[in-house]
Chains A and B, each alone.
Chain A
Amino acid sequence: MSNKIGNVWIFIEQEGGKIANVSLELVSKGRELAAKLGVATEAIFLGGDLSGGVDTLHHYGCDKVYMVESGKLEPFTVLPYAKSIVDLVKEHRPNILLFGATNKGRELGPRVASELMCGLTADCTDLQIDDFDDKVNKKQYKNKLMQIRPAFGGNIIATIVNTWEDPQIVTVRPGVMKLDDPDTSRKGVCVKIKPEITSTETVVNVIERVQQEKEVDLQASQIIVSGGYGVGGQANFKLIYDLAKTLGGDVGASRAAVDAGWIDHDHQVGQTGVTVRPKLYIACGISGSIQHRAGMSDSSKIIAINTDPDAPIFSCAHYGVIGDLNEVIPKMIKAFKSKV
């Protein structure tokens, strides 16, 4: 057996041919891991019509794109995707396989990992290459993927290692890996694959599909003004909207505000909402639970407005305003308007 390790693979998620942001974030991260390991970064790109996407993947840094096109891959169902991916993995044995921890990635990844008898770690928030000394089994592993993720409702951070045969498979939350800029001068290889999908895999039929554009795409926002339970009511969310509008930002929310029915779930920031890293995050009337902080603590600048000086949100804030948001926000709007 050769000692040569496999490449870093990224599953590219697409909807109607449009590549999901998380997949490009993973290409950026995948390149970094591949550079450390001295291997190539390769994409597996599946769907019904993929024209156009391949160049984008090369621009973001994929050395090779396995393009798996078939009418049976549209609309997305798990089994045909799993079969196609498993066949490819068995043939090429990548070292690492990354999925976005989206709805699709989280139902597809486990099916693939189970069939390959590989370990799988869900919802990673960081990935590193390091050695692993398994003291229990007295075994040493070189250059393994450190799979770092929160567990226990965010109360702990665990580093997990896959000790069985490659690939080391993980899903990664959207928004946590930094997206590098594309370089249009980059070129790469494209390998077209005809998948072998049989009637065993096409048993799940999509009869109806209703999908709406999200109300907001907070992951693309540079300025986010978020309201929590301290806003006090749906009508009072107007204050949050006013500040966001004045500053040219979007509106986020805590789960307590969403659960209270004051604002749609699309706005929720945190462990069960979106992970954001804007230039500026203003938390208004948000206590800063661990689940909320998990989704925003990487923001470049954080302002917390809270009446309670002991609120945990201040632990990740750069600026803290200890006061009533009903008084502070109008002052901010006024101050900003008079400055610009």
Chain B
Amino acid sequence: MSYTVIVFVKQVPDTQNITGEAMKPDGTVNRAALPAIFNPEDLNALELGIQLKERYGAKLIVGTMGPPNAAEVLRESLYRGADETILLTDRAFAGADTLATSYALSCCAKKIGKFDLILCGRQAIDGDTAQVGPQLAEKLKIPQVSYVENVEELTKKRVRARRSIEGGFEVVECPLPALMTVVEANDPRPSNVKKIMLYKKAKTRTELSKAHSDANYTDAELLKEEEDNLRKVGLWIEELSASDIGADVERIGLKGSPTKVKNIQSVVLTGADFKVVDPTEAGVNSLMHELIEDHTLG
């Protein structure tokens, strides 16, 4: 294994069908009220990571920041092909805007140590900001290549990638380590059922101790032994807190976020008060007449 590739992913609420009730009074999201999914473009980033692993040999580490439940996207990453996973979870991370998020992720990357590439999806469907990738690159002082469609070549020192630009594409080259944000330009491969069944068993420390206490089992030594076993077979999800990654508490969560939500309005459809036009010749004629009369047409 020659390269280390980190993919940062996010668990997001499915934004297709949501209401104002999904927001808490302080303007943050009530994630519990919504079905949570793997952010779509992060799956494209993961797929690119898997392709690099196949083409060049790489250790693929997938990280996410979120509530304990976000371990679900890490299990999914494991059965899709990740080698290691990291869950950043801590109450102190809550309420982070993109600046605080990218800072926390940068601490995680530093904690991992040596890496060649970081991949992120271009943007997440809950906020659509596309900011975390570039901000993370800045925090780590590494070059960024946004909107990547694919990697043309990876060598020990450099990466060459094709990225989309307005009205076309560009091929760019930059030294490693670098960060790339990935667009929906590949098809994340379906995973096979056997793997899904296997990796469903992956656990974080919190999940493991909960399983034990649920069974009224509190033998610390046994816990440690089970952890080691899970590690050995690649079913361990590393769980890290703010202090584990050496994050400055002033720079994470709500505290580390310069942007504040002043208010939230849910978008309501106003009652229809349009002029009904008969779909008949007469109806259409009078419509066209009206539009010509008021100089909209003609």
Q: Which residues of A contact B (CB under 8 A)?
A: 77-79, 82, 102-104, 106-111, 113-115, 117-123, 132, 134, 136, 146-147, 150-164, 203-214, 223, 247, 279-280, 290, 300-301, 303-304, 312, 314-324, 327-328, 331-332, 334-336, 339-340
Interface check B275, CB cutoff 8 A: yes
A76 to B89, CA, bound (A): 38
B residues within 8 A CB of A205? 172-174
Size of chain B's interface in residues, with CB distance under 8 A?
Answer: 82
A160 to B27, CA, bound (A): 10
Question: When the two chains form their complex, are residues B298 and A340 in contact, meaning their CB atoms are under 8 A apart?
Answer: yes
Which of B29, B99, B171, B262 is within 8 Å of A114, CB to CB? Answer: B99
Q: Contact mask B142-177 → A, CB, 8 Å, 1/0?
A: 011111000000000000100011111111111100
Interface check B269, CB cutoff 8 A: yes
Question: When the two chains form their complex, are residues A110 and B285 in contact, meaning their CB atoms are under 8 A apart?
Answer: no
B residues within 8 A CB of A315? 269-272
A254 to B292, CA, bound (A): 26
Q: Contact mask B115-149 → A, CB, 8 Å, 1/0?
A: 00000000001111111111101110001111100
CB within 8 Å: A-B pair count: 243
Q: How far is the CB of A259 from chain B (nearest CB, A)?
A: 12
Question: When the two chains form their complex, are residues A152 and B288 in contact, meaning their CB atoms are under 8 A apart?
Answer: no
Which of A102, A155, A164, A206 is within 8 Å of B15, CB to CB? Answer: A155
A108 to B279, CA, bound (A): 49
Interface SS of A by simple majority: mixed
Known A-B contacts A339-B288, A339-B289; A113 and B135 likewise in contact (beta carbons under 8 Å): yes
Interface check B246, CB cutoff 8 A: no
Question: When the two chains form their complex, are residues B165 and A321 in contact, meaning their CB atoms are under 8 A apart?
Answer: no
B144 to chain A: closest residue by CB = A78
B279 to chain A: closest residue by CB = A323
Question: When the two chains form their complex, are residues B297 and A134 in contact, meaning their CB atoms are under 8 A apart?
Answer: no
B residues within 8 A CB of A290? 267
A210 to B288, CA, bound (A): 43
Q: How far is the CB of B126 from chain A (nearest CB, A)?
A: 6
A303 to B170, CA, bound (A): 39
A residues within 8 A CB of B276? 320, 322
A165 to B297, CA, bound (A): 50
Chain B 246-296 interface residues, beta-carbon cutoff 8 Å to A: 257-267, 269-272, 274-281, 283-285, 287-289, 291-292, 296
Known interface pairs A304-B274, A320-B274, A335-B284; 6 further A-B residue pairs with C-beta atoms within 8 A, sorted by A's residue number: A119-B257, A155-B18, A156-B20, A204-B172, A301-B291, A317-B274
Q: How far is the CB of A106 from chain B (nearest CB, A)?
A: 5
A155 to B29, CA, bound (A): 13
A residues within 8 A CB of B27? 158
Interface check B244, CB cutoff 8 A: no
A320 to B175, CA, bound (A): 57
Question: When the two chains form their complex, are residues A320 and B296 in contact, meaning their CB atoms are under 8 A apart?
Answer: no
Question: When the two chains form their complex, are residues B264 and A111 in contact, meaning their CB atoms are under 8 A apart?
Answer: no
